[in-house]
Amino acid sequence: MNAKRFFGSMLLAIAAGIAAVLVYTTIDQEEPTYIVQETPGMQYVKLPPAETVAPTDFIVAAEAAVDAVVHVKTKAYREGSGNPFYDFFFGYRDQGEPAPVLGYGSGVILRSDGYIITNNHVIEGSEEVEVILNDKRSFDAQILGTDPTTDLAVLKIRENNLPFLTFGNSDDLRLGEWVLAVGNPYNLTSTVTAGIVSAKARNINILRGEELSIESFIQTDAAVNPGNSGGALVNTRGELVGINAAIASRTGAFSGYSFAIPVTLVKKVVEDVIEFGAVQRAILGVTIVELDADAARKNNIDNIAGVLVTGLRQNGAAIDAGIQVNDVITAVNGVPVNSPSELQEQVSRYRPNDKISVTINRKNRVIQMVVVLRNLEGGTGVVEKPGPISALGASFDELTSSEKRNLGIKNGVKVVGVSSGKFRSEGIKEGYIITQINNRSVNSLKDIERIVEESEGGIYIEGIYPNGLIAYYAIEL
């Protein structure tokens, strides 16, 4: 390429570049022009400017909740490992004080006179429960009742004029609605996080070890961590809509979703425990699965809505009312149910002997049935609160004549098992033989039940271990 051609090409390139810059600058600075193509018959409406939506304010809800959410600390005792060979050859020996096992969680004050709700898994197996208020006051708590099927427990402290949360309505929660989670994560004091309702009536199979468990969780993305269990889920008005119970995580820490027990279940459990001392669980008596397209096609069902009945409990409420296998339950008292968890939640709101209206789709024919709900035993009566002997946390067996003769005693009842309860917390071991309670002779389990039921405040136990060691225990009831 000669010099003239080279410099000519360069001049052309420079000129083109300058032209491009000038065109770009002009386009960038000019106002855009919009061409509207009018369509015959089309009308144009002038809309008012959109209203500015105020940001959601969590302050009122947070301030209402933090004082009503408590820190729950628990203590259980783990026995030291024994040596059965030593005991066999050298006789029973005292293995020292049981080692304390500490736990923590959260709870919510529901009444000014000290009634508190928490998760059953927070206090399960505990011998001592301490409640710490947001103002740092501390109280010993009594476990009034538990319900493993919903993972709820009711506590009571002796105090009045306490701040408390009012019940909201979890049925009114909508997907996308803002909620706050309040609790004590990682053993910290009250912590507030925010999120939205992601799903309702969620079953995560976390209570699968419990017969007739009820899982109908509110799913949110509010951050919840260990220690939040038993804490409050509140709406932006500061009303209680759920009790935080679980998280979805591969690590044990929050990773996106948390789950709360709806307040409709919470309210029922609390009312039952306070009124009856035990939860009055109503049973419909059906085995059910979710109705999907395959099941609907197989059973010639046109409308894919409801839950499919696959089995019936003999002498149960459903079979007595006329419900049949392959029926589809679509509503309870007019409330639609589209999953097993939704049906379980609806039925759990009622007590045995309550009447409910059940809507059935039977071969594409809608039928209304009145069902009288039953209890677990198949009756309609009230389930009694477990007797005071259950608080001892022990199982017993009567002595044989040879055992009495070898120990040189005339009467007694042997402790054959110790679980969570008063006996373990006082250090009573398996093998201990109770000879007297409150200076009254003990010969049978009925004797123990009668004396304990008649005692107020506590009992004084006298007895002997198989190696001849005489021991005395004072137990507060």
Last residue of a domain, one of 227, 246, 277: 277
* Residue given tokens 């009945």 in the structure block: 309
One domain for residues 88 and 204: yes
Q: Is residue 339 part of a domain?
A: yes
Query: How many angstroms separate the CA atoms of 435 and 409, rounded?
Result: 8
**Is it the case that residue 22 has pLDDT exceeding 50?**
no
**Ramachandran sector of residue 345 (left: φ over 0; alpha: ψ -120 to 50; beta: rest):** alpha
Q: Is residue 7 part of a domain?
A: no
Place 76 in a pLDDT band, splitting at 50, 70 and 90. confident
* Residue given tokens 């509140």 in the structure block: 234
pLDDT attached to residue 253 = 64
One domain for residues 364 and 401: no
Average pLDDT for residues 238-260, to the nearest whole number?
83
**Is it the case that residue 228 has pLDDT exceeding 60?**
yes
Q: Is residue 450 part of a domain?
A: yes
Average pLDDT for residues 382-398, to the nearest whole number?
79
**Low-confidence winner among 19-28, 373-382, 414-423 (lowest mean pLDDT):** 19-28
Average pLDDT for residues 138-161, to the nearest whole number?
94
Q: pLDDT tens-digit profile of 303-361?
A: 899 999 999 998 899 999 999 999 999 999 999 999 999 999 999 999 999 999 999 99
Percent with pLDDT over 70 in the chain: 81
Query: How many angstroms separate the CA atoms of 39 and 69, rounded?
Result: 62
Find, among 395, 321, 383, 327, the residue nearest to 352 by Cα: 383
Q: Is residue 361 part of a domain?
A: yes
Average pLDDT for residues 259-264, to the nearest whole number?
95
Contact status, residue 188 vs residue 194, Cβ threshold 8 Å: no
One domain for residues 366 and 410: no
Q: pLDDT tens-digit profile of 81-125?
A: 555 544 544 455 555 566 788 999 999 999 999 999 999 999 998
Structure tokens at 12: 């052309």
Find, among 349, 370, 194, 191, the residue nearest to 261 by Cα: 349
Higher-pLDDT residue of 48 and 424 is: 424
Q: Is residue 173 part of a domain?
A: yes
Query: How many angstroms separate the CA atoms of 172 and 218, rounded?
Result: 12
**Is it the case that residue 26 has pLDDT exceeding 50?**
no
Last residue of a domain, one of 249, 277, 305: 277
One domain for residues 294 and 219: no
Give Dmax over CA atoms of the chain in angstroms. 131
pLDDT attached to residue 441 = 93
pLDDT attached to residue 87 = 53
Q: Is residue 21 part of a domain?
A: no
One domain for residues 266 and 301: no
Contact status, residue 71 vs residue 131, Cβ threshold 8 Å: yes
**Is it the case that residue 187 has pLDDT exceeding 90?**
no
**Low-confidence winner among 116-120, 377-381, 387-391 (lowest mean pLDDT):** 387-391
Q: Is residue 29 part of a domain?
A: no
Residues 6+ apart with CB under 8 A from 20: none
Last residue of a domain, one of 218, 246, 277: 277
One domain for residues 80 and 129: yes
Q: pLDDT tens-digit profile of 275-309?
A: 988 899 999 999 999 999 998 998 889 989 999 99
Highest mean pLDDT among 23-32, 34-43, 434-443, 454-463: 434-443
Query: How many angstroms separate the CA atoms of 388 and 393, rounded?
Result: 10
The pTM of this model reads: 0.71
**Active centre residues (catalytic):** 121, 151, 229
Average pLDDT for residues 462-473, to the nearest whole number?
93
Domain interval for residue 217: 55-277
**Is it the case that residue 20 has pLDDT exceeding 70?**
no
Question: How many independent structural domains does the chain possess?
Answer: 3
Q: Is residue 106 part of a domain?
A: yes
Query: How many angstroms separate the CA atoms of 475 and 460, rounded?
Result: 6
**Is it the case that residue 461 has pLDDT exceeding 90?**
yes
**Is it the case that residue 52 has pLDDT exceeding 70?**
no
Query: How many angstroms separate the CA atoms of 125 and 239, rounded?
Result: 31
Query: How many angstroms separate the CA atoms of 473 and 392, rounded?
Result: 12
Higher-pLDDT residue of 264 and 421 is: 264
One domain for residues 184 and 216: yes
Place 28 in a pLDDT band, splitting at 50, 70 and 90. very low
One domain for residues 75 and 103: yes
